[in-house]
């Protein structure tokens, strides 16, 4: 089953973030635009020809996030939307972060 076919599982805390090697393995299942930033969070930046299309994309990401109960940080500016994902309760990554990223890949 692909990451995009899975559902995000709510994290209630009390579990450690995934190990770096596991995160790097799951990263390979996402589109090449995703990376791990210096905080250990998933991030990607998408370019658009104008502000309206960047906002439209951000709203689609918001709809997916709400359906999954897993919410990324979004930064919208003219022609660009940045997405940063991590599990806030544990200040690190879980499989659900990669599931959300894969679902975002599906709308690009």
35 within some domain: yes
Q: Give residue for tokens 């393995």.
A: 25
13 within some domain: no
3 within some domain: no
Q: For residue 28, what are the domain limits?
A: 19-105
11 within some domain: no
34 within some domain: yes
Q: Please give the pLDDT value at position 70.
A: 92
| CATH number for 60 | 3.30.1360.20
Q: What is the pTM of this model?
A: 0.92
Q: Tens of pLDDT along 57-76?
A: 999 999 999 999 999 999 99
Q: Please give the pLDDT value at position 3.
A: 81
Q: Tens of pLDDT along 10-57?
A: 666 677 899 999 999 999 999 999 999 999 999 999 999 999 999 999
27 within some domain: yes
Alpha carbon of 101 to those of 32, 53, 60, 97, 104: distances in Å? 11, 19, 13, 6, 5
Number of domains in the chain: 1
């Amino acid at each position: 089953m692909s990451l995009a076919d899975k559902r995000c599982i709510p994290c209630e805390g009390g579990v450690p973030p995934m190990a770096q090697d596991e995160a790097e393995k799951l990263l390979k299942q996402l589109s090449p635009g995703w990376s791990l930033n210096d905080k250990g969070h998933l991030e990607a930046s998408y370019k658009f020809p104008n502000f309206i299309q960047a906002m439209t994309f951000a709203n689609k990401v918001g709809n997916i996030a709400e359906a999954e109960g897993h919410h990324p940080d979004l930064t919208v500016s003219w022609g660009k939307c940045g997405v940063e994902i991590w599990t806030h309760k544990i200040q690190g990554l879980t499989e659900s972060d990669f599931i959300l990223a894969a679902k975002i890949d599906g709308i690009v």
